[in-house]
Chains A and B, each alone.
Chain A
Amino acid sequence: DAKTTQPPSMDCAEGRAANLPCNHSTISGNEYVYWYRQIHSQGPQYIIHGLKNNETNEMASLIITEDRKSSTLILPHATLRDTAVYYCIVRVTLLNTGNQFYFGTGTSLTVIP
């Protein structure tokens, strides 16, 4: 159970904003949303995470809806190096065994020159 749903693929023109959606309709109150990206044959790279407030860092912005059932990762000015698979992940805390992170199949973003 991946707990998140993402479109399998998206294209974005270089220099434009890339908006990557994620649905997490079963998220509960203490579960954070994380975004990672993975370039082929490398380990996933952490981008950003949030609970209920919008977040921004040097890589991206994360917009979480008020009901927390969906979120959007925004890359403000996409470059060719942003071409990767982007994963939206929910962290689940299990009472006795700690935290588990559920990865889905992600969105393959292609930035087009």
Chain B
Amino acid sequence: DGGITQSPKYLFRKEGQNVTLSCEQNLNHDAMYWYRQDPGQGLRLIYYSQIVNDFQKGDIAEGYSVSREKKESFPLTVTSAQKNPTAFYLCASRVGKNPLGTDNSNQPQHFGDGTRLSIL
């Protein structure tokens, strides 16, 4: 089945540690996104990538880093600089331009089932 896989489902971090959250998709989507969700709140955009080897900061990028070396993978690193990392992290992907260059930007995002990060 095609979809988006986030791992692990639960993750614990010690103070001062970096941790990396995995996001893999086999939908052949060009665009990928990382969001953070805090209790009772909506999603806030951390980083997004429209194409391999390119990514952009979202609204709350400080304390996070990403890479996009492969089309199907968009890992998020929560660094020790992120002082309040406890949250639910969601990865999404969306189809980008098709081979003929037609813009598919009205197509929706599809989400993984999230990783819940907690501080020990």
A, B in one complex: yes
Interface set of A (CB-CB < 8 Å, partner B): 2, 32, 34, 36, 41-46, 49, 51, 87, 91, 93, 97-101, 103-106
Complex contacts, A87 vs chain B, CB 8 Å: 42-43
Contact between chains at B31 and A44 (CB < 8 Å):
no
Q: Knowing A51-B106, A97-B56 touch, does A42 contact B113 (C-beta < 8 A)?
A: yes
Complex contacts, B13 vs chain A, CB 8 Å: none
Contact between chains at A43 and B90 (CB < 8 Å):
yes
Task: A36-B111, A43-B114 are known; give 13 further A-B pairs, CB within 8 A.
Answer: A41-B116, A43-B92, A49-B106, A91-B105, A98-B48, A98-B50, A99-B31, A101-B33, A103-B35, A103-B43, A104-B42, A105-B40, A105-B42
Residue-wise interface mask of B (84-101) relative to A, using a CB-CB cutoff of 8 A (1 in contact, 0 not): 000010101010000000
Name the distance in Å between B72's Cβ and chain A's nearest Cβ. Answer: 17
* Cα of A97 to Cα of B45 in the assembled complex, Å: 13
Complex contacts, B63 vs chain A, CB 8 Å: none
- Chief secondary structure at chain B's binding surface: strand
Name the distance in Å between A79's Cβ and chain B's nearest Cβ. Answer: 22
* Cα of A91 to Cα of B31 in the assembled complex, Å: 14
With an 8 A cutoff between CB atoms, is B75 at the interface? no
Interface set of B (CB-CB < 8 Å, partner A): 4, 6, 31, 33, 35, 40-45, 48, 50, 56, 58, 88, 90, 92, 94, 105-106, 108-114, 116
Give 12 A-B contacts (CB < 8 Å), ordered by A residue. Answer: A2-B42, A36-B111, A43-B92, A43-B112, A43-B113, A43-B114, A44-B90, A46-B111, A51-B106, A99-B94, A100-B48, A101-B109
* Cα of A93 to Cα of B44 in the assembled complex, Å: 17
Q: Knowing A42-B113, A42-B114, A43-B111 touch, does A106 contact B106 (C-beta < 8 A)?
A: no
* Cα of A106 to Cα of B42 in the assembled complex, Å: 7
* Cα of A106 to Cα of B40 in the assembled complex, Å: 9
Contact between chains at B108 and A41 (CB < 8 Å):
no
